[in-house]
């Protein structure tokens, strides 16, 4: 049975979410704030997190950032704030979805079901990618040991940072990464340059691996948030 963690300080909303999900066959635990949520994730195993943004103390964005440093499970943000900036911030920090209150029981359960199924498919396809020597996604092959890339059987030349950026995105499919985070992860905090470097490298990678760089099938743009590898 799948286990879901709800991090929500409004007890009535949390209880309602719990009822919806338990009726659909899930096990559910509720915690009232971010600190308790992070502790629960360390002590127990969960398959998905429903995370409110407006939490006392540590807000949902801070909690999400910490979860993404330690866990690789779906995180769905839940908030009464419908402004686009909140959605962009949440997706940019790695949220898998953004649900605006109020919502129906059917919508909540449908989104949870969809993300759990998607995550299972991703695990089946990419679960051993960190240990295996090769990633194969449709017509794209990434050979980690030899640091080579093939598109439809033809090798394409990749500069060092282009390869590292492509490999990192492919190892985290469907996860949205902001330009600043990608720059920090690939180039490092002390590197010379800025986030615009990421844009240039993404463009170069697309020119090499995409059939049509203006309509990418591998590296997609999430406007206002960053980039994600499409599966």
pLDDT digit string, tens, across residues 26-49:
999 999 999 999 999 999 999 999
CATH number for the domain that contains residue 83? 3.40.50.2300
> 194-228, pLDDT tens digit by residue?
778 899 999 999 999 999 988 999 999 998 889 99
pLDDT at 168: 94
The last residue of one of the domains, among 85, 100, 126, is: 126
Give the total number of structural domains in the chain: 2
Distance CA 100, CA 108 (A): 10
For 57, the domain range is: 3-126
Final residue belonging to a domain, choices 126, 159, 188: 126
pLDDT-derived band at 126, boundaries 50, 70, 90: low
pLDDT, residue 185, reads: 86
The least confident of 11-20, 92-101, 125-134 is 125-134
Q: Are residues 151 and 41 in the same domain?
A: no
Query: H or E stretch including 155?
Result: strand 154-156
What distance in Å separates the CA atoms of residue 225 and residue 36, rounded to the nearest whole number?
28
Mean pLDDT value of segment 58-70: 90
Torsion angle defined by CA atoms of residues 166, 149, 131 and 217, in that order, rounded to the nearest 10 degrees: 50
State how far the Cα of 71 lies from the Cα of 85, in Å rounded to an integer: 24
- Read off the tokens for 227: 């980039």
| Percentages (nearest 5) of helix, strand, coil residues in the chain | 45, 20, 35
Q: Which of residues 110, 126, 142 is at a domain's end?
A: 126
- Whether 169 and 88 map to the same domain: the answer is no
Q: What percent of the chain lies above the pLDDT cut of 90?
A: 58
First to last CA, the chain: 26
């Amino acid at each position: 049975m799948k286990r879901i963690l709800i991090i929500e300080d409004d007890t009535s909303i949390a209880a309602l979410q719990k009822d919806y999900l338990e009726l659909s066959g899930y096990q559910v635990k509720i915690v009232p704030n971010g600190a308790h949520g992070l502790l629960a994730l360390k002590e127990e195993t969960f398959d998905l997190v429903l995370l409110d943004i407006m939490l006392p103390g540590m807000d949902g964005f801070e909690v999400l950032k910490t979860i993404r440093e330690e866990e690789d499970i779906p995180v769905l943000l839940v908030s009464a704030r419908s402004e686009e900036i909140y959605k962009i911030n949440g997706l940019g920090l790695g949220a898998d979805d953004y649900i605006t209150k109020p919502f129906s029981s059917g919508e909540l359960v449908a989104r949870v079901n969809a993300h759990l199924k998607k995550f299972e498919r991703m695990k089946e396809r990419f679960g051993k990618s960190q240990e295996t020597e090769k990633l194969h996604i449709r017509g794209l092959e990434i050979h980690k040991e030899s640091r080579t890339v093939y598109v439809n059987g033809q090798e394409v030349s990749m500069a060092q940072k282009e390869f590292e950026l492509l490999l990192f995105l492919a190892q985290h499919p469907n996860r949205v990464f902001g330009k600043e985070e990608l720059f920090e992860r690939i180039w490092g905090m002390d590197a010379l340059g800025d986030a615009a470097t990421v844009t240039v490298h993404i463009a170069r990678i697309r020119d090499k691996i995409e059939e049509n760089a203006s309509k990418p099938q591998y590296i997609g743009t999430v406007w206002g948030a960053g980039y994600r590898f499409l599966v």
